[in-house]
Amino acid sequence: MKGMKRSHFCGDLSKKQVGEEVTLMGWVQRRRDHGGVIFVDLRDRFGIVQVVFNPEEGNQVFSVADELRKEYVISIKGKVRARPEGMINQELATGRIEIQAQDLHILDEAETPPFMIEDDVSAGEDLRLKHRYLDLRRKPMQDNIILRHKVKKAVRDYLDNNQFLEIETPILTKSTPEGARDFLVPSRISKGDFFALPQSPQLFKQLLMASGMERYFQIARCFRDEDLRADRQPEFTQIDMEMSFMKQEEIMELVEGMVQEIFAVADLEKPTEFPHISYQEAMERFGTDRPDARFGMELVDLSDIVADSEFNVFSGTVASGGQVKGINAKGCADFSRGQIDDLTDFVAVYGAKGLAWIKITEEGVNSQIAKFLSDEEIEEIIEKMEAKTGDLLLFVADNPKIVAASLGNLRLKLGQELDLIPEDEFNFLWVTDFPLVEWDDEAGRYVSLHHPFTNPKPEEIEKLEDNPEEVNAQAYDLVLNGIEVGGGSIRIHNSQLQKKVFDLLNMSEEEIEEKFGFLLEAFEYGTPPHGGIAFGLDRLVMLLAGLDTIRDVIAFPKTQSGTSPLTDAPSDVSHKQLDELGIEVEQEIELE
C-alpha cells in the first residue's frame, strides 16, 4: 500500500477537520470532470466524501486521477477544505467539505460491474447472488449486515449482564426430533454411520441445565433439509436461550428486556407493550395463533345468532358442531361481484366451501342470503359486527379449523389490500396456553404443538391420559406483526413425565431409548426446572429493517432451490472422497 496509512474513514470527516491533511482509502463511487477539474466520490464502509483533483496540484496525480473508473480501489492524501456556500451537498453527511487531493495511488483496478453499486438495483436476484460481493457493497445491504451485527451485540451484552453464558453446542451431532428432515454427514472413521446437523440445540441446552449452567444462550446455526417454499434457508440462525429456576413469567419479562435492547440498537422506539393472548382467544378473534394485531377486522362468532336460522347452510353447520363467523370489511360495500368471487376463490384454498356476504348500503341490506335470514337475525348480526352503511360483511360456515384458516387469512389479505396495516408499527403479542398436543389425522397419532419436551400445566397433568387434547402447555410464542419471532416453553425435567409424553406421542420404547435415552438418564441425577425460548434471528432482523426476505439479511444465502450461485455449492466430489466415507451415489443418479 505504498507506505500510506489511513488516517480517517470517509464518513468521519466534517468541518472539524478543515485544514487537516488526511489519508483516505476506498472505492470510486463516481467520477465527474467539470471545468478541467476531476471530482471523485470516494466511498468506504463509513461514508462518502468528495475528492477534488486539480491539474495545478501536480500533473502526475492528475493524470492518474484521469484513469480512475467506478469501483477502482484507491488511497488518497489531501487537505480537508470547506466547500463554498453554493457547493454544499445537503444529502451527504460530509457534504460541507471536500478533499483537495495531493497524492493518489490506485490499489486495485476494476472492471465495469455487472450491475451498479447503488442503493436501488434493478438486477435480478440470481445475478446479485452470483456476484454477492458486489451486491454487499450497496449501502442498503451494508446497513442490513451492520444491523444484524448490532442486534447480535445487543443480545450478547444483555444476556451477559443477566448472567447468561454463551456455550457452543455440537454441529456434528445426532438426529434431532424437531420433526423436519436432517442434513446428514457420513462418518469416515465409523463407516456406515452418520452425524446429523442440529435442527436446534434443544437437547444440548437442556443437558446444560442438567449441568448446572443455569443460564445458557447461543446465537446458533441450525439446519433443516426442507423444501424451500416460502422464505426459508437450509441453514438459519437462532438466538437460543435456556434458563433454570425461572418461571414462565420471569422468562417472558427477561425476554421483553432483551427485545427492548434490540430495538434501541436498531434506532427504533423501544416497545413497551407486550400483551398476552391465549391460544384459544387468538384463534377465536384472529383465526391464527400468530395474530397481526396492528389492525382490527376481527372474526366475530355468529353461531348463536344463526343457530336456529332458516338458512340451512348456517344453522346446519352449527347443528353439526361447526361455526359461523364473519368479518367486517369496512367501506367495501361497493365491491363488485367479481371482487367477491375472487375472495371466494381465496378462502376456498383454505377449505371453505363458500363465502356468504351482506352489503350494508344506503338502500339497505344487499345480499343473496338476506332472504333466508330473519330481520331480527340480520339486525343482530349488524349489531354484533358493528356494521355501518358502506360495510361489507363476509361469512364462512364450517368446522372451526376451516373457519379460522379461511377468515384469518382473508382478514390478512383484506388488511393489506385495504391498506389497513400501519407499516411502521411494531406490534408484539405473547401467545400463551397452547394445547400440549393435537391429533394428526395423517400420522394417526397425537403430535406436539411445540415439541415433546414442553411441560404441561401442572394442574392439568392428570388429564394427560384420558383427555390429552385438553391439556395446555407452559408454552409462549412471541409474535411480531403477525410473524412468530420467538417460541418457547417450560420443559419437562422429570423422566417419568417425559416418558409419559413420549408414550402419548406413540413412540415405542425402543425409539425413546435410542433417540432420547441419554436425556432421560440425565434427568435421573437432579435436573432443575427449566425453560427457554428461541428467536429466529434472520426473521427478526428482516422485520426490524422492514424487508421482505431473510436473504437480504444473510451475507451469503442460498437460493430458493438451496444452492449457492456464487460458489456453485453443492457440487460433485471425487470418488476417492466417497470411497473414504464408504458411501456411493445411487447408480441411476450418477449416470444422469
d(CA 549, CA 261): 23
Per DSSP, what are the bridge partners of residue 456?
A: 473
Regarding 411 and contact with a copy of itself (CB under 8 A), the answer is no
Cell of 145: 449486515
Tell me the CB-side half-sphere exposure of residue 591, using CA atoms within 13 A.
3
Is residue 503 within 8 A of residue 443, CB to CB? The reply is no
Residue number with CB closer to a copy of itself (129 or 259) = 129
3-state secondary structure 147-214: HHHHHHHHHHHHHHHCCCEECCCCCCECCCCCCCCCCEEECCCCCCCEEECCCCCHHHHHHHHHCCCC
d(CA 236, CA 145): 15
Least separation in angstroms between residue 53's CB and a copy of itself is 18
Regarding 443 and contact with a copy of itself (CB under 8 A), the answer is no
Query: Does a cis peptide bond (omega within 30 degrees of 0) precede residue 570?
Result: yes
Residue number with CB closer to a copy of itself (185 or 382) = 185
Residue number with CB closer to a copy of itself (316 or 528) = 528
Residue number with CB closer to a copy of itself (250 or 425) = 250
Least separation in angstroms between residue 369's CB and a copy of itself is 47
Query: Could you say which residues in the range 527-546 bind a copy of itself, by CB under 8 A?
Result: 527-529
Residue for grid cell 445426532: 174
Residue number with CB closer to a copy of itself (44 or 98) = 44
CA angle (251, 205, 475) in 5-degree steps: 40
Regarding 179 and contact with a copy of itself (CB under 8 A), the answer is no
3-state secondary structure 21-74: EEEEEEEEEEEEEECCEEEEEEEECCEEEEEEECHHHCHHHHHHHHHCCCCCEE
Per DSSP, what are the bridge partners of residue 486?
A: 478, 535
Least separation in angstroms between residue 524's CB and a copy of itself is 5
Q: Which stretch binds a copy of itself (CB under 8 A): 219-227, 311-319, 320-328, 393-401?
A: 219-227
Query: Could you say which residues in the range 465-504 bind a copy of itself, by CB under 8 A?
Result: 493-494
For a copy of itself, the binding residue among 77, 174, 232, 500 (CB under 8 A) is: 174
For a copy of itself, the binding residue among 30, 79, 221, 463 (CB under 8 A) is: 221
Query: Could you say which residues in the range 3-42 bind a copy of itself, by CB under 8 A?
Result: 5-6, 9, 25, 27-28
225 labeled binding residue: yes
Regarding 518 and contact with a copy of itself (CB under 8 A), the answer is yes
Regarding 506 and contact with a copy of itself (CB under 8 A), the answer is no
Query: Could you say which residues in the range 246-285 bind a copy of itself, by CB under 8 A?
Result: 246-247, 250
539 labeled binding residue: yes
226 labeled binding residue: yes
Query: Could you say which residues in the range 71-130 bind a copy of itself, by CB under 8 A?
Result: 71-73, 75, 107-111, 113
Which residues lie closer than 8 Å to 559 by C-beta, 6 or more apart?
Answer: 125, 126, 129, 565
Q: Which residues are annotated as a binding site?
A: 178, 224-226, 233, 450, 484, 491, 536-539
Q: Which residues are annotated as a binding site for ATP?
A: 224-226, 233, 484, 536-539
